A and B are shown apart, each in its own frame.
Chain A
Amino acid sequence: MRRFLFVLIAAWAVCGTVAVAKEAAPMIRDPEIAGRMAHLTQKLRCLVCQGQSVADSGSDFSNDIRREVEKLMEEGKSDQEVIGFLVQRYGDFILFEPPVKSTTAPLWIGPFVLMALGGAVLVIVLAKRAKRPVEELSPEQVAAAERLLNDLEKEGKDS
């Protein structure tokens, strides 16, 4: 039955090729809107998925959002206006790039502060170490080291 169905479809496909073979239409007709959407939907969270963007998700939610965004863009809304609309409806949660405001300041400044701090600590530690006097070995330590080296040599010959 399955095979039969497939043959049927294949036959249909062949006829179809002859009859109406044509360039597939893009889902979003307007190329300018398609480009803007591709960019914008990357930054929107699919609220029903696990950590995926609307652009990456095939869920019903994402399909709805895409339709909504397309409609708004066709109405001539700018990217900012579309984002504003979505934030109003779903909150900041839908934005993968959190807006810069007082509550998110630490999030945006944090990494750069960390990096500056790390750099400063690095420089201080290294400068301090470079100045440290060389630790002289005591005669016993030198003797012990020689003994170890000899042992190693012997073992090297053994093996």
Chain B
Amino acid sequence: MIPEIGHFSLILALAMAMVQAVVPLIGAAKGNENWMRMARPVAQGQFLFVATAFACLTYAFITSDFSVLYVAEHSNTELPLQYRVGAVWGGHEGSMLLWVLMLTGWTMAVSVLSRKLADDLIARVIGVLGLVSTGFLFFILLTSNPFIRLMPAALEGRDLNPLLQDPGLVFHPPMLYMGYVGFSVAFAFAIAALLGGRLDAAWARWSRPWTLVAWMFLTMGIAMGSIWAYYELGWGGWWFWDPVENASFMPWLAGTALIHSLAVTEKRGSFKNWTVLLAIIAFSLSLLGTFLVRSGVLTSVHAFATDPTRGVFILILLVIVTGGSMALYAWRAPKVGLGGRFALVSRESFLLANNVLLLVAAATVLLGTLYPLIIDALGMGKISVGPPYFSVVFVPVMTPLVFLMGVGAMARWKEASLPDLAVRLRWAFAVALISAVIVPFLMGEWYPLVSMGLLLSFWVFATIFVGVRRRVRRNQEIGRPGFSGMTRSYVGMQLAHAGVGAFIVGVTLVNGYQVEKDVRMNVGDTTEVAGYTFRFDGVAQTKGPNYTATQGYIQVIKDGADLMVLHPQKRNYNVQTMPMTEAAIDTGLTRDLYASLGEPVSGGAWSVRIYYKPFIDWIWGGCFIMALGGGLAMSDRRYRLASRRKAEKPSGATHAAGALATEGGRA
């Protein structure tokens, strides 16, 4: 019964999505206010029904209702509760439902938080979101329905893939999808502006906080996925340049370009066309990522060719959304009003350079991800494109980007003077250069690549310091407290940039000074890694809720004192009988100790892998600092002010409208 309610809710949600897609858009085109006002209630209704469907599926998982095919395929009675909830999005159908839940959730948020927007603009925004939602609800109902019954019901479920039985599953996908799908709002604002022909600073101001929130979630989602991969997937790798990862990284790159370009459009009125195009690109890349991950095209081009229903459906959606919006763009993008003038050397120019580099980076990832598929589809052989390729092509793009980050944040709008910038930044550069040369010696050994990476990160830190100090001085000169007048938006920017610096420190040091030991350990054997002694104290059997495990005991000793015991496990899950390696990690600000059990070798000995990973947590710390910066910038006073002013001022008008509506209802 409950699954049928879910199924039916989904159908109702589709009906509402269609209304949401059609009525407000026509209303906005014809200037019919009643039709426009349909937008909000319909969007909220749609969210309600999608949420109901989602709740029904969750209920089916919690109660282990194996008469639902999707539940039987992805759950098991032994599965702990938190993973039964996570398993809702552990497979294709459920993750698409999560996608739509996020989309309608964002639409709901827009409908509630945008009271100040003009009726026609909000009608168009919600209408466009309705169009997207219609496409995806059709997709779910026609090709990926999670509520299909299994008759007769299975006695026991096939269980969730052990790889996914991890807290990472509970947090990572919702976070990632929040970001991924969140770019739909920026996209909808862009399309609405094109349709309405009003592409102004106000439009940029409205889309900016939405884009920032989406970007913030995407940043955290990607970082969480990376952490998950680090401790669960393999032996301490944190980014594999896997197509699934690239699928989330491409929208991130485009989204990063977008938030920078929006800054120019809001502050200076320039780059309007470009910003709109970026919003379209960012969302198209999100859709492309969904296509890559969900169509099965990655596992095998040929498997895709034999069962193409789902893939072709998303591909058609992708073509309609991207093609349609590009056509609209070509038709409606403003030909006049290029915004404020700016000189060759100005903050605008630096931000444009940032955009170009980020897009080149995104295009590079796209090329590396799609090329093997194309080659395979054309029958020209099977190749892999992996980390060695990306480090060769990515570093040359990222290096100038990070360098310009320091300069751009310092440059004035409109016109900056190069000699002036050089004077202001020469100390920053000197300090960065000297520390970058010295620090590798302190770490033990000097490598050119480490020095180079450190130069970039110290450059970032030093330029932030110079920038902030300059503001403080200027304040003091006019007798104000040093930190006054620093908006959250400014602090957020500096913080996000510092996050990039921390990220580079992590990547550089872990690549340069990671120590790996692959040893054969008998009970009592010791091995020394980077000043830590690891003693193997044997293994014991232990039991989890739905697995049995062999657990190793590894005593870590530093300077003769016992530091801790690491417990790496080799698990065997009862249902899918797949051996899983659970690494034991001791996390620290300056280093991780990582131990992982290999195979038993002769005579009670085990092969054991031990890593010393210096500064690896800076990688994710950097990402979370970036996200925090985004969050701060989003909460800037001027966005809140704008919405509060709206909430206060036209309350009379809202009442009047409400009264009108009730009267209309009576009539």
| Chain A residues proximal to chain B, CB less than 8 Å | 2, 5-6, 9-10, 12-13, 16-17, 19-28, 34, 38, 42-43, 45, 49-53, 55-58, 63, 91-98, 103-104, 106-108, 110-112, 114-115, 118-119, 121-122, 125-127, 129-130, 132, 134-135, 155
Asked whether, in the complex, the Cβ of B364 is within 8 Å of the Cβ of A103, the reply is no
- What CA separation (Å) do A58 and B232 show in the bound complex? 11
Asked whether, in the complex, the Cβ of B240 is within 8 Å of the Cβ of A114, the reply is no
B522 in complex: contacting residue of A20, A27, A43, CB < 8 Å: A20
Q: A51-B386, A56-B233 are in contact. List 14 more A-B contacts (CB 8 A).
A: A9-B537, A9-B540, A9-B553, A10-B553, A23-B525, A34-B518, A52-B233, A92-B382, A98-B384, A98-B389, A115-B360, A118-B356, A126-B349, A130-B342
Asked whether, in the complex, the Cβ of A24 is within 8 Å of the Cβ of B522, the reply is yes
Asked whether, in the complex, the Cβ of B524 is within 8 Å of the Cβ of A20, the reply is yes
Asked whether, in the complex, the Cβ of A103 is within 8 Å of the Cβ of B352, the reply is no
Q: Chain A residue with minimal CB distance to B397?
A: A115
- What CA separation (Å) do A50 and B519 show in the bound complex? 26
Candidate in A12, A13, A94, A155 with the most chain B CB atoms within 10 angstroms: A13
Given the complex, which residues of B lie within 8 Å of A16, measured CB to CB? 522-524, 538
B307 at the interface (CB under 8 A from A): no
Given the complex, which residues of A lie within 8 Å of B538, measured CB to CB? 9-10, 12-13, 16
B386 in complex: contacting residue of A34, A96, A134, CB < 8 Å: A96
**Do most interface residues of chain B lie in helix, strand or loop, or is the interface mixed?**
mixed
B88 at the interface (CB under 8 A from A): no
| Chain B residues proximal to chain A, CB less than 8 Å | 233-237, 240-245, 338, 341-344, 349, 352-353, 356-357, 359-360, 363-364, 367-368, 371-372, 375, 380-389, 392-393, 396-397, 516-528, 535-543, 553, 581, 596, 598-599, 607-608, 645
Given the complex, which residues of A lie within 8 Å of B338, measured CB to CB? 129, 132
Given the complex, which residues of A lie within 8 Å of B236, measured CB to CB? 56
Asked whether, in the complex, the Cβ of B387 is within 8 Å of the Cβ of A2, the reply is no
Asked whether, in the complex, the Cβ of B387 is within 8 Å of the Cβ of A96, the reply is yes
Q: Chain A residue with minimal CB distance to B644?
A: A159
- What CA separation (Å) do A21 and B524 show in the bound complex? 5
- What CA separation (Å) do A42 and B233 show in the bound complex? 15
Q: Chain B residue with minimal CB distance to A103?
A: B380
Give how many A-B residue pairs fall within 8 Å (CB-CB): 196
With known contacts A27-B607, A53-B237, A58-B234, A10–B537 Cβ distance under 8 A: yes
- What CA separation (Å) do A28 and B393 show in the bound complex? 33
A14 to chain B, nearest CB (A): 8
B387 to chain A, nearest CB (A): 6
Asked whether, in the complex, the Cβ of A51 is within 8 Å of the Cβ of B356, the reply is no
Candidate in B357, B387, B396, B596 with the most chain A CB atoms within 10 angstroms: B387
Given the complex, which residues of A lie within 8 Å of B240, measured CB to CB? 50-53, 56
A110 to chain B, nearest CB (A): 5
- What CA separation (Å) do A92 and B359 show in the bound complex? 29
Asked whether, in the complex, the Cβ of B387 is within 8 Å of the Cβ of A53, the reply is yes
A82 to chain B, nearest CB (A): 16
- What CA separation (Å) do A135 and B576 show in the bound complex? 69
Asked whether, in the complex, the Cβ of A19 is within 8 Å of the Cβ of B234, the reply is no
A91 to chain B, nearest CB (A): 6
A52 in complex: contacting residue of B237, B357, B608, CB < 8 Å: B237
Given the complex, which residues of B lie within 8 Å of A13, measured CB to CB? 523-524, 537-538, 553
A37 to chain B, nearest CB (A): 9
Asked whether, in the complex, the Cβ of B382 is within 8 Å of the Cβ of A63, the reply is no
B367 to chain A, nearest CB (A): 5
Asked whether, in the complex, the Cβ of B387 is within 8 Å of the Cβ of A127, the reply is no
A149 to chain B, nearest CB (A): 14
A48 to chain B, nearest CB (A): 12
B536 in complex: contacting residue of A24, A93, A103, A114, CB < 8 Å: A24
Asked whether, in the complex, the Cβ of A42 is within 8 Å of the Cβ of B523, the reply is no
B344 in complex: contacting residue of A20, A21, A49, A130, CB < 8 Å: A130
3 closest cross-chain pairs (CB), A and B: A96-B386, A51-B242, A16-B524
Q: Chain A residue with minimal CB distance to B570?
A: A58
Q: Chain B residue with minimal CB distance to A135?
A: B341
